[in-house]
Amino acid sequence: TNNFLRHVESMKLLPSGAGHISHLNAVILGESLATEEDDFVLPSQDFASKANVQSPEQYLKMYKRSIEDPAGFWSDIASEFYWKQRWGNKVCDENFDVRKGNIKIEWFKGGITNICYNCLDRNVEAGLGDKIAIYWEGNEPGLDGTLTYSQLLQQVCQVANYLKDIGVKKGDAVIIYLPMLMELPIAMLACARIGAVHSVVFAGFSAESLAQRIIDCKPKAVITCNAVKRGSKAIHLKDIVDAAINDSAQNGVSIDVCLVYENLLALKREATKWKEGRDIWWQDVIPKYPTTCSVDWVDAEDPLFLLYTSGSTGKPKGVLHTTGGYMVYTATTFKYAFDYKPSDIYWCTADCGWITGHSYVTYGPMLNGATVVVYEGAPNYPDSGRCWDIVDKYKVTIFYTAPTLVRSLMRDGDAFVTCYSRKSLRVLGSVGEPINPSAWRWFYNVVGDSRCPISDTWWQTETGGFMITPLPGAWPQKPGSATFPFFGVQPVIVDEKGVEIEGECSGYLCIKNSWPGAFRTLYGDHERYETTYFKPFSGYYFSGDGCSRDKDGYHWLTGRVDDVINVSGHRIGTAEVESALVSHPQCAEAAVVGVEHEVKGQGIYAFVTVVDGVPYSEELRKDLVLAVRKQIGAFAAPDKIHWAPGLPKTRSGKIMRRILRKIASKQLDELGDTSTLADPNVVNQLIELSDS
């Protein structure tokens, strides 16, 4: 009864099947170098023969089992980890259908474990103590450091002991606001070790955004550093934290402890503003604690972390992930989607402030005992060759990044790439937004020398791990397609009525039944969880993305279908940007849409109606952009402010964004029916003001 399974079976993927798959197998076996044929890009025979999953048939066999016997499939994998006590008799207990009651997802309930133990102690005990866990590369070339698995464990224990000492207990929240120093994954793992719930806030968020998150989760402590260098500029993070803590205090949430890492190269201790009694230097206390720390064992369904993400309306949502299922899922997806081998050196360019840094900088790789490169700086500092310099320096074999970086490096020219060897690379990965076929081909041909398969991984903060992704040795790839579902994932494409569509089609991407890495709720708001994700199409998890499936069953993500925009792979809710704009006293109303952007994927385009009598000026434009930087962060700053004497609204007052999107992208002949507008004339006014 699984549509996807029926679909792949009907599309010649079975071993006995004739048609293109046998043709492809012939090509795979006959060619040592990848070739492009019928838009397919094939892994080399050499790659496929050593891969963890080597053929479509092998994938299909495993996939079938994962769907037909999820309990058996996932408990076999889970058994490879350490459980203090095995889970109860139900591997998965779920209700995915709002019509049958509250949504509930539980995996391995009753199982007692600890993810930090599984990332560190288990690997050290297995003899990986001297293996490099982290290669840290600083913003300034030449500045670096390493930690073996044993050293990492010791440092994590020291921080865990400190947190316990200041009274952080199982279930307490801790906010981490750090750049990509080693201390960031260390702090995450330390929380996990004692059962505390970390909430990492990307260090590009403003004080107001940080305050919002502090107020929502009421942490026992905030962990930060005094400053960070971005490119050649120093940013005083501690000042931002101070402002956020003050703001929270005014909203009734006080912070007693702020642990501050002294980032000497960015700012000296003496120059850091300080609040005695509350602030404490990391370097003054952490080294004094013992390097061993007992583990707080937790239930598989105890919370592991909260990560705030943008939705189409309202304030950011606290996506809550629990321990056991997330552990099993991130480890497994990492292993298969990147064809991970113990000899790999893995580098993911994402920041731990986003889900990618949680699942695929910290947990997924470390659960596999992998060596991870953590890079502090900007990918084009001091020049556009930095990434490949780092790849060569550490002999990186798996390189995982976002399409926006690929496009920006592509624009800077091949010479920055080709002057480095890159011969260590064997797998490339992409995440965050659809990768356009031309960027895909550049990544493949130029960066990977037409040798490395690309895993274009589709997933979300909510899904915890990869959902639709190539398995690099198994699949012929198509540039721009995320290909097929991961084990245990049942993607369906539905029409606006929620009816599943089969075969070649396009529509809304939903998921049927749960998978171990799924989020369990929105912190403090289970109702919003149900309304946002499970009510739009009863019986399914609704992703918010559009998707089409081609004649060969490949999935092509087409972007968000809600009011969320994706700027350089960062999710931004249009409502949040609008609310920041209207907080400016001279802004009466604002409507924000996404427009295509050559490098960022989407750019932020804001229509702004000013308060009566206020003249349009460059200064006001700058001020409005500043308001957004202040309330959300620099990464959410609008690319364009378009003056709007009025906004196109229906008679019931609803803003017609469809029309605004067309105006923003200058597709004026596609405005469609404007007769239902309360005042059709506003459209002409907007067009006239397009270039002012």
Judged by the rule CB under 6 A, the positions of this chain that interact with ligand WTA are 309, 354-356, 430-434, 456-461, 482, 543-545, 557, 559-560, 566, 571
- Closest CB 352 distance from ligand WTA, rounded Å: 13
Q: CA-to-CA distance for 339 and 50, rounded, in angstroms?
A: 9
Nearer Cβ to ligand WTA (397/430): 430
| Identity of the residue, 295 or 439, whose beta carbon is nearer to ligand WTA in the bound complex | 439
CA distance 677 to 70: 51
User: Which two structure tokens, joined as six digits, stand for 607?
Assistant: 């229509």
Q: Which amino acid does the sequence have at 372?
A: V
Closer residue to ligand WTA, CB minimum distance, 279 or 456: 456
Q: How far apart are CA 675 and CA 427, in angstroms?
A: 52
Phi-psi region of 450 (alpha: psi -120 to 50; beta: other; left: phi over 0): left
The secondary structure of residue 596, as a DSSP letter, is: E
Query: In whole angstroms, how close is the CB of 537 to ligand WTA at the nearest point?
Result: 15
Picking from 404, 434, 460, 401, the residue whose alpha carbon sits closest to that of residue 547 is 434
Closer Cβ to ligand WTA, 158 or 543, answer by number: 543
DSSP state of 211: H
- Reading the block at residue 64, the tokens are 């079938």
The distance of closest approach from Cβ of residue 642 to ligand WTA in the complex, given in angstroms and rounded to an integer, is 24
User: In the chain, how many H helices and how many E strands?
Assistant: 24, 33
Minimum distance of ligand WTA from residue 575's CB (angstroms):
16
Task: Judge contact between 592 and 604, C-beta under 8 A.
Answer: yes
Given the structure tokens 């025979």, which residue do they identify?
45
CB atoms under 10 Å from CB of 332, counted, come to 26
Closer by beta carbon to ligand WTA, 439 or else 590:
439
Q: How far apart are CB 542 and ligand WTA at their closest, in Å?
A: 11
Which C-beta is closer to ligand WTA: that of 326 or that of 459? 459
Q: Spell out the SS3 assignment of 639-685.
A: CEEEECCCCCEECCCCECHHHHHHHHCCCHHHCCCCCCECCCHHHHH
CB-count exposure of residue 264 (10 Å: 0-12, 13-18, 19+): exposed
> Catalytic site residue 562?
yes
Q: Find the shortest distance in angstroms from Cβ 363 to ligand WTA.
A: 14
Can you tell me the distance from the alpha carbon of 96 to that of 47, in angstroms, rounded to the nearest whole number? 39
Q: Are 346 and 371 in contact (CB under 8 A)?
A: yes
Nearest Cα neighbor of 417 from 384, 453, 439 is 384
3-class DSSP state of 459? coil
Quote the tokens at residue 632: 């959300």
Residue 442 CB, shortest distance to ligand WTA, in Å, is 16
Q: What angle do CA 101, 97, 90 make, to 5 degrees?
A: 85
In whole angstroms, the minimum distance from the beta carbon of 482 to ligand WTA comes to: 5
Which residue type is seen at 661?
Answer: R
User: Of these residues, 242, 344, 351, 562, which one is catalytic?
Assistant: 562
CB of 360 to ligand WTA, least distance (A): 9
Q: Taking the complex as a whole, how short is the minimal distance between the CB of residue 355 and ligand WTA, in angstroms?
A: 5
What one-character-per-residue DSSP string does 74-127 give?
HHHHHTTS--SB---S-SEEEE--GGGSS-EEEESTT-EE-HHHHHTHHHIIII
Give the nearer residue to ligand WTA in terms of CB position, either 261 or 529.
Answer: 529
- Supply 299's token pair: 């239930």
DSSP state of 315: S
Q: Which is nearer to ligand WTA, 154 or 401 (CB)?
A: 401
Smaller CB distance to ligand WTA: residue 136 or 556? 556
Q: Which residue do the tokens 């200064």 mark? A: 619
Question: Could you give the CA distance from residue 582 to residue 284 in angstroms, rounded to a whole number?
Answer: 44
Instruction: List, in sequence order, the alpha helices (H) in 414-553.
Output: 415-418, 437-442, 526-529
Decide whether 520 or 560 has the Cβ nearer to ligand WTA.
560
Residues annotated catalytic, as ranges = 562
